[in-house]
Chain A
Amino acid sequence: MDILVLINTIITVCTYAVALFFLIAIVRSFLRTKKIQDALVYCIIMVPFILRLLRLK
């Protein structure tokens, strides 16, 4: 594999890791919040993160 392709592949994996990192932060915020509306908003924000990490979209 060409070195540039390899580096780009590593960056892709790291970008998924970044998405996971922020998903964890979103889940923590969801669990901590005492406001109903905020909890609902966190729930919606989670959607693209989860589906991307599951490699469905």
Chain B
Amino acid sequence: MTMLQHSLAVIVVIALVFAIAKKCKACTELTLLLAAVGAIIAHLILPMGEDPRSALPFTEIIRHVVEGTFNYFDVCLTFLTATFFMTLYKEAGGVNYMVRQIVGRFYKKRILLLLLLTVVMMVPGAVTGSGATTVLTVGGLVGAVLAAMGVNEDRRVALIFLLAAMSAACPPINLWAMMAAAGANMPFVGFTWPLLILSGVGALVSTFYLTRGVRNTKPVEEVLGNLPEAPAGWNALRAFVPFVVMIVLIMGARIFPAWWPVFGLPMIFMISAGAVLICSPKKVKVMEIAVTTVQNLKELVGIMVVVGILNQTLTLTGARGLISLAVVILPIWLLFAALWLILPVAEGVLQYAVAPLFGVPLIMLFNMLGYNPVVALSCWSVMWPVGDCLPPTAVVGRAAVMEMNYKGNYYKGLVKNALVPMLVILALCTITMIFNKPVGDLLGV
């Protein structure tokens, strides 16, 4: 058996175990864990190819599995703290207050309101690089305003997902581009305009497509009457302070990089949560909210931890290399034609790990072919987050469902409604990628 056949067999085993575990009604997290265990067993049993290999003791296998749980540890901590912050804010009545204020002031100015909501959604992801953070921080608030505008539930959840995905792609922080550029030793320079144009167009197309036909005809008072009241004591100052704290902590590092301490996103969200406690006129049970946060994020965090294990296993067994190799040896015309599908699907499986896995070899391939790697990587980095609603991880999609308390069918509701804007975004990126050289010349990158 060659190494290629070995790694291929490991991938087949993963697919088989996944299918069987799903059939047995195991949850996605445990299904992926079982698939990883299956991969390791297959790796140990099957001949490993033509060349000599090192021994793999049982203790080292355990070490690899445990090490895999750390792959996205910081991301998980960010999810937990961001959600904790916003859940505190919501429980304290801050979200209700903000929604009432926005609706009261902008309800009749539909276009302006939609543009404002788009910007509000884009900011958290743009500064953190995480679509899930966008959903978990402002998704509920924007969703509530959309509901007040009369946007139906299916479209609402689809729009929250799409805006979150585009916010993650939006500069200055695009984690996929940064990770791939870092892996290829490319300076993260020149990405601002291509990323901004692609993600901005994607966000606007999503917003106006999914709110088409919605007319803000009801009197403002009637709409406000249907919205929950905010607890007494809330005012603009109290409502804005936690967000001001968050923005100051994030922007401080950019304005005074030499003097600003390194807080990290988890601490930034926890300090902002502390500001909520100080500003809230209503007492909230902190530990209970933390437990609720963990329970709500169980699937999201669980998936990230288990995907980390699967990623480690794929690498150990050569399956990751085979997948990566398969992509770079595709004929270039097929690559151009298939990346719009490959990249989001891979994102659905591996999350941020796709950036080093596909991004780095692709950058090197594009470099070798004389293409513009900045424009090409920008296109891929907008295509990847589109896959965040796809199984098995569907991290941002799940977060949107959870945050919006969406009860409809995930595929017939969220995915179906998001499909047209998703295809527009993917088509836009593919066309830009094909014309990477003239686009690069035009943007001066």
The chain A residues found within 8 Å of chain B, CB to CB, are: 4, 7-8, 11, 14-15, 18-19, 21-22, 24-26, 28-29, 32, 37-38, 40-42, 44-45, 47-48, 51-52, 57
Contact A29 B294 (CB under 8 A): yes
CB distance from B9 to the nearest CB of A (A): 26
Q: How far is the CA of A25 from the CA of B80 in the complex (A)?
A: 11
Distance from A41 Cβ to chain B, minimum over Cβ atoms (Å): 4
Q: Are B298 and A15 in contact (CB under 8 A)?
A: no
Identity of the chain A residue whose Cβ is nearest the Cβ of B262 in the assembled complex: A8
Contact between chains at A18 and B293 (CB < 8 Å): no
A19 and B33 contacting across the interface, CB-CB below 8 Å: no
Q: Give the residue name and chain of the A residue nearest to B25 (CB).
A: A37
Contacts A18-B270, A44-B302 given; indicate if A25 touches B294 (C-beta within 8 A): yes
Q: Is the CB of B30 within 8 A of A37?
A: yes
**Which residues of chain A have C-beta atoms less than 8 A from B290's C-beta?**
21-22, 24-25
The segment from B47-55, B63-71, B111-119, B174-182 that touches chain A is B63-71
A57 contacts which chain B residues (CB < 8 A)? 66-67, 70
Q: Which chain B residues have a beta carbon within 8 Å of chain A's beta carbons?
A: 26-27, 29-30, 33, 66-67, 69-70, 73, 76-77, 80-81, 259, 261-264, 266-267, 270, 287, 290-291, 293-295, 298-299, 301-302, 305-306
Q: How far is the CB of A33 from chain B (nearest CB, A)?
A: 8
A4 to chain B, nearest CB (A): 6
Chain A's nearest CB lies how many Å from the CB of B331?
41
A11 contacts across to B, CB distance below 8 A: 261-264, 267
- Using CB atoms, name the residue of chain A closest to B296: A29
CA distance A40 to B200 in the complex (A): 41
Contact A48 B294 (CB under 8 A): no
Interchain pairs with CB closer than 8 A, number: 82
Given known pairs A29-B295, A44-B302, A44-B305, the reply for A15 and B264 (CB within 8 Å) is: yes
Q: Which residues of A sit under 8 angstroms from B69, Cβ to Cβ?
A: 44, 47-48
Within the complex, the shortest CB–CB distance from A31 to chain B, in Å, comes to 10
21 contacts between A and B (CB under 8 A): A8-B261, A11-B261, A11-B263, A22-B80, A22-B290, A24-B290, A25-B293, A25-B294, A26-B294, A28-B294, A41-B298, A41-B299, A44-B33, A44-B302, A44-B306, A45-B305, A48-B73, A48-B305, A51-B66, A52-B70, A57-B66
Q: Is the CB of A37 within 8 A of B27?
A: yes
Q: Give A48 to B73 CA distance when docked, in angstroms.
A: 7
A-chain residues with CB within 8 Å of residue B76 when the two chains form the complex: 45, 48
**Assuming A4-B261, A8-B262, A11-B267, is B298 touching A45 (CB within 8 A)?**
yes
Residue of A7, A15, A41 near B27 (CB, 8 A) is A41
Min CB–CB distance B210 → chain A (angstroms): 32
| One of B29, B67, B80 near A41 (C-beta < 8 A) | B29
CB distance from B125 to the nearest CB of A (A): 22
What distance in Å separates the Cβ of A57 from its nearest Cβ neighbour in chain B? 6
Query: Using Cβ atoms and an 8 Å threshold, which residues of chain A touch B305?
Result: 44-45, 47-48
